[in-house]
Chains A and B, each alone.
Chain A
Amino acid sequence: MKAPVVRVRNVSTRFGEYLVHDDISFDIYEGEIFGLLGPSGYGKSTMMREMILLQEPDSGSIEVLGKEVWKLGEKEAVELRKQWGVVFQESALFSSLSVEENIALLLREYTNMSPSLIRRVVATKLEMVGLSQSDGRKYPSELSGGMKKKAALARALAMDPKLLFLDEPTSSLDPVSAAEFDSLILSLRELLGLTIVIVTHDLASIRKTLDTMVLFADKKVIARGTLQDVLKTRHPIIESFFLQ
């Protein structure tokens, strides 16, 4: 079996007195679309924030792309951050920059590509996520919710990462845009061989996109594996979660 891309071992997290994760472990393998599932408030977004170096767990270790993320020095952390892309729940596009500039930002900052090559790269990324070139010239405030998500995805893909993190990508979209976004994710995985980690509670996209998943509840992972595996597990939260 291949080495896991993300390896979470014995992670515990507490917010003040409140314990969010109690000794959680799981692996994410290359090429998977992996879901972090669970009702709101059970720490699935927190788990993702711990993987992408935004929030430190109280104990346990998290390895991403073979590096133990919370033991890295500042320089190594920057190197690691360039190897993944993140799409936030509210897209988090920089509102003072146009979509094109949002995508070009990382390339300008971290590579010494010529401006004409950067323009080509930006144009290609826009095309990949299904935005037109004229959309690229717009500012985030001029875009609809679905287009913002696509633009954020294009920005996350700018440096050609092998690993992509999506935080509730479809939660603020209408069902049609959400389905479109799910298809986009599937086709990008096909095209680029990405490993994708998704935090979600959207049942339609769970069914459509996820290969494997873990379900958080009661501070623990209560079910893991494919959708069939998860549905076979007997637990009141699983029944209510999938019957919502």
Chain B
Amino acid sequence: MPLYNRLKEYRAKLGVNQAEMGSLAGVSRQTISLIERGDYSPSVTLALKLAAICEATVEDIFWYEEDK
């Protein structure tokens, strides 16, 4: 999947686990885990929510790269 992210790093900075991050964003722990592993590309709404929680921009956390 060509969407990469630094969500795990930002979560570590906040000092919360996946369940707590999920609860802050109103999603399940599994969703956070799937995003971090790159197995799921979040919707724009969720990406904006996560960026707001991490006090960063969406581009800081997510970036797109074509598959080589």
Q: Do A and B bind each other?
A: no
